Amino acid sequence: MMEVRENVVVTKSTELALLVIEFCEELEGNKKFVVARQLLKAGTSVGANIREAQNAESMADFVHKLKIAAKELEETKYWLELCEKSKSYPCNEELISTSSELSLILGKIVSTSKKKLNNS
């Protein structure tokens, strides 16, 4: 039987999406609907783009999809930063930490993949 290795970036992006959903429910409970909606869209699309990349048609397509995920992650971090710096919004340290961790992982994968693409 073949051992299936965990795909860290997929796992971490799913974890991020679940944390985003939970935090957005908290924001909505505090009537912070605009930020909740924006954060929900950006934070859940990170994982969707990473999942799409898993079935990329080429290395260039893989890199492109992961770069889209990275952009969505930057937007997610922006909304979280607004929450963190605003006096009237809740803050979620676990979400900030998870998004930073995922950002490092994505950056490394994109960088390594680009090198492979340029060397082929």
Which H, E and C letters describe 23-84, residue by residue?
HHHHHHHCCCHHHHHHHHHHHHHHHHHHHHHCCCCCHHHHHHHHHHHHHHHHHHHHHHHHHH
Pairwise CA distance, residues 118 & 47, whole Å: 26
**pLDDT at position 120, please?**
76
Q: pLDDT of 4-53, one tens digit each?
A: 688 999 999 999 999 999 999 999 999 999 999 999 999 999 999 999 99
Answer whether 0.85 is exceeded by the pTM.
yes
Taking only the tens place, the pLDDT of each residue in 47-96 is: 999 999 999 999 999 999 999 999 999 999 999 999 999 999 999 999 99
φ/ψ of residue 2, rounded to 5: -80, 135
- What mean pLDDT, rounded, does the chain reach? 95
Q: Which fold would CATH assign to domain 8-119?
A: de novo design (two linked rop proteins) (1.20.1440)
SS3 42: helix
Q: Which pLDDT value is given to residue 3?
A: 67
Q: What tokens does 74 get?
A: 């930057």
